[in-house]
């Protein structure tokens, strides 16, 4: 008698597969140091989200019908702080302990937000928002540049980037709901105090971990050299020039979402505020879906095709908005925009990490932070101005064209064959600077030079060789 083979329950199979996938995605959290830093990031983002809502309500209390203008100016000041201050902190962080800097910046941010409930004039909003974002412009890129030193495996680091993306998306989705629930129980002023507590908790978690030591290779470099170093590396690296073009794609689509969603849903479609939240949630859902699936994709696919695909999905979604869709299609387009943004933004940290030496990471992350916010500084006011001057259809068309042209530019400047290992030429030279005896410094000593790193005149012969290539002090241009 033949035995009937039992078939596995498809529900059980799906459940087991999903549980193992979750374990895989969250495996970096087994690293105790990263677990605490991720906790600090989540708590800090949650607090910041509450302050964003409370700030809008405070502006309405002080300015009434002009609250939108006040909020817009505050947003512009935030972008200015991000653009001009981040490189300064990138230079500072190369010379002082990172943990102490991050803890100090968290405490300073806490001090600023707890003052916000007590202000009585609009100009005070501008001053405190600018100061708060000066400290954030220091904290965020230094924090991001530290993570690759903690999680050194590339696959695990890719998961870290997805977790970071999820944290931002959850903050965008959950903070408004948390704020709405809390405001029913207390005044909005308390949200500022809660953000202050969040920053203190974040500082405590950062203080509880030990960061790996870095070699100090910046002896003798001027402050201005360190400030501009990240920009010089960034703008001489082809893949990063492609990333800059994709950052303009993201800001073009993102500005249209953030500035004009409420106008489109309320004024054009005639729907309620609840639909504004649902449409924005659709973008967050698209971003989260990609963030969850991207680590497994990037095991077999390089960042370039993934990020370029995200650029074209974003661009075409913005252009499709020009047909002035109904709510169903609008939800789909916003979902696709969220997915496209995540396809671009999630691998950014990985791209920056492979494009510089370990000690140059803070400067390069600060350069990306600054340059990407230049794009937002351009597109935020453009989206609002176009919506008023030529209507929403015109705004969709113009920003969609900016996005598609930027995506094409990224495809052209980012080489398809993006090799790390490159053959290049060193001209013969004789110079002096602080150095360790690495593969570029093999020479004789007379005994007086002292311990490494030390500074003395030394020769470099004419040399043609190949190795993993990044722009640095001895490789000042990208080889053809």
Question: In CATH, what number does 29-210 get?
Answer: 1.20.1250.20
Query: Contact 131/85 with Cβ under 8 angstroms?
Result: no
Q: Is 475 helix (H, G, I), strand (E, B) or coil?
A: strand
236-240, 274-278, 427-431, range with the lowest pLDDT: 427-431
pLDDT band at 466 (very low <50, low <70, confident <90, very high): low
pLDDT at 18 (0 to 100): 43
Give the contacts of 399 (CB within 8 A, at least 6 positions apart): 252, 253, 255, 256, 318, 379, 382, 383, 386
Q: What is the pTM of this model?
A: 0.81
% the chain with pLDDT above 70: 79
DSSP secondary structure letter of residue 9? P
pLDDT band at 268 (very low <50, low <70, confident <90, very high): confident
Range picked from 15-19, 93-97, 396-400 for highest mean pLDDT: 396-400
Residue whose C-alpha is closest to residue 29's, from 150, 171, 139, 203: 150
> What does the domain layout of the chain look like in residue ranges?
29-210, 230-415
Type and span of the H or E element at 45: helix 32-63
Burial tier of 136 (Cβ tally within 10 Å: 0-12, 13-18, 19+): buried
Determine how β-strand 454-460 pairs with β-strand 429-435: antiparallel
pLDDT band at 356 (very low <50, low <70, confident <90, very high): confident
DSSP secondary structure letter of residue 321? G
Please check the confidence at residue 55 and state whether its pLDDT lies above 70: yes
Mean pLDDT of 113-142: 90
Superfamily of domain 230-415: MFS general substrate transporter like domains (1.20.1250.20)
167-171, 249-253, 382-386, range with the lowest pLDDT: 167-171
As a whole number of angstroms, the distance between CA 153 and CA 67 comes to: 47
Burial tier of 23 (Cβ tally within 10 Å: 0-12, 13-18, 19+): exposed
pLDDT band at 318 (very low <50, low <70, confident <90, very high): very high
As a whole number of angstroms, the distance between CA 384 and CA 379 comes to: 9
Whether 29-210 and 230-415 share one fold: the answer is yes
Mean pLDDT of 96-120: 92
As a whole number of angstroms, the distance between CA 123 and CA 269 comes to: 35
Please check the confidence at residue 298 and state whether its pLDDT lies above 70: yes
Give the contacts of 140 (CB within 8 A, at least 6 positions apart): 86, 369
13-17, 98-102, 324-328, range with the lowest pLDDT: 13-17
Mean pLDDT of 257-266: 85
Task: Dump pLDDT digits (tens) for 183-241.
Answer: 777 777 888 899 999 999 999 999 999 888 766 555 556 666 777 888 888 988 899 99
């Amino acid at each position: 008698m033949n035995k009937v083979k039992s078939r596995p329950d498809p529900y059980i199979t799906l459940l087991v597969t999903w549980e193992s996938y979750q374990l895989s995605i969250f495996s970096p959290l087994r690293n105790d140091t990263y677990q605490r830093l991720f906790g600090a990031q989540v708590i800090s983002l949650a607090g910041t989200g509450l302050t964003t809502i409370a700030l809008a309500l405070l502006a309405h209390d002080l300015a009434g019908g002009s609250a939108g203008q006040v909020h817009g100016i505050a947003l512009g000041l935030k972008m200015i702080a991000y653009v001009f201050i981040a490189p300064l902190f990138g230079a500072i962080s190369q010379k002082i302990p990172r943990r102490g800097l991050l803890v100090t910046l968290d405490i300073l941010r806490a001090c600023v937000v707890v003052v916000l409930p007590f202000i009585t004039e609009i100009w005070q909003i501008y001053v405190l928002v600018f100061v708060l974002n000066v400290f954030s412009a220091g904290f965020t890129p230094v924090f991001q540049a530290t993570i690759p030193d903690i999680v050194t495996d590339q696959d695990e680091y890719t998961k870290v980037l997805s977790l970071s993306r999820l944290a931002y998306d959850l903050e965008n989705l959950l903070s408004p709901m948390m704020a709405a629930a809390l405001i029913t129980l207390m005044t909005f002023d308390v949200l500022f105090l809660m953000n202050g507590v969040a920053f203190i908790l974040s500082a405590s978690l950062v203080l509880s971990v030990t960061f790996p030591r870095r070699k100090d290779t910046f002896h003798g470099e001027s402050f201005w050299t360190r400030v501009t170093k990240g920009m010089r590396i960034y703008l001489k690296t082809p893949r990063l020039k492609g990333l800059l073009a994709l950052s303009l794609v993201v800001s073009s689509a993102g500005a249209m979402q953030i500035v004009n969603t409420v106008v489109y849903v309320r004024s054009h479609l005639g729907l309620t505020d609840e639909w504004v939240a649902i449409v924005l949630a659709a973008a967050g859902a698209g971003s989260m879906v990609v963030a969850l699936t991207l680590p497994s994709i990037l095991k077999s696919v390089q960042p370039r095709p993934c990020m370029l695909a995200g650029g074209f999905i974003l661009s075409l979604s913005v252009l499709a908005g020009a047909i002035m869709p109904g709510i169903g299609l609008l939800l789909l387009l916003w979902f696709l925009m969220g997915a496209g943004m995540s396809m671009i933004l999630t691998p950014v940290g990985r791209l920056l990490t492979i494009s510089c030496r370990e000690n140059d990471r803070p400067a390069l992350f600060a350069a990306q932070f600054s340059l990407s916010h230049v794009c937002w500084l351009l597109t935020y006011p453009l989206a609002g101005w176009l919506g008023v001057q030529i209507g929403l259809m015109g705004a969709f068309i113009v920003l969609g064209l900016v996005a598609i042209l930027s995506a094409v530019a990224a495809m052209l400047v980012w080489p398809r064959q993006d090799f790390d290992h490159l053959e290049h030429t060193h001209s013969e030279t004789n110079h002096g600077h602080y150095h360790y005896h690495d593969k570029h410094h093999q020479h004789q000593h007379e005994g007086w030079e002292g311990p490494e790193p030390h500074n003395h005149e030394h020769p470099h012969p004419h040399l043609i060789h190949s190795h993993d290539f990044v722009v640095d002090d001895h490789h000042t241009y990208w080889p053809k």
